């Protein structure tokens, strides 16, 4: 799936009749970014440029275009109340110990 902007860019490259060197490099980079990362084209050969255009047209026929999704405004639906902090009896905690943090029992009796 590609965005409408990318589709329009690729389609404009695929239907172009005349190519400058910059246009040919843009065609090559578009194919490298979307279809084949190792694609190279001779910037002077008309047949290779037409082949690149055919590659793009075939890709566009097989690919679905997703419409640009408008930005959703974030709004607070509900607010969560702060969780109460539990009161811990430190003396009792020291007697019991903890297996997770490795705290050992101080009073074994």
pLDDT, tens digit, for every residue of 60-90?
999 888 776 666 666 666 666 776 666 666 6
pLDDT confidence of residue 76: 64
Residue 18 domain boundaries: 2-66
Residue 13 placed within a domain: yes
What is the residue-averaged pLDDT of the chain?
A: 80
Q: What is the average pLDDT across 35-45?
A: 88
In a domain, 93, yes or no: no
Query: What is the average per-residue pLDDT within 51-64?
Result: 91
Residue 84 is assigned to a structural domain of this protein: no
Does residue 97 sit within a domain? no
Cβ count near 101 (within 10 Å): 6
Structural domain contains residue 31: yes
Q: Virtual CA dihedral for 41, 46, 48, 50, nearest 10 degrees?
A: 120
Q: What is the pLDDT of residue 25?
A: 92
| Cα–Cα distance measured from residue 49 to residue 39, given in angstroms and rounded to the nearest whole number | 12
- Which pLDDT score, from 0 to 100, does residue 4 have? 86
In a domain, 21, yes or no: yes
Structural domain total, the chain: 1
Structure tokens at 68: 């640009």
């Amino acid at each position: 799936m590609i965005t409408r902007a990318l589709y329009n860019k690729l389609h404009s490259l695929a239907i172009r009749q005349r190519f400058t060197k910059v246009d040919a490099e843009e065609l090559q980079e578009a194919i490298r970014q979307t279809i084949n990362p190792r694609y190279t084209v001779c910037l002077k050969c008309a047949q290779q440029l037409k082949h690149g255009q055919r590659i793009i047209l075939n890709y566009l026929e097989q690919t679905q275009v997703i419409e640009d999704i408008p930005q959703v405004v974030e709004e607070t639906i509900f607010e969560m109340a702060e969780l109460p902090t539990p009161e811990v009896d430190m003396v009792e905690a020291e007697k019991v110990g903890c297996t997770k943090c490795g705290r050992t029992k101080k009073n074994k009796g």
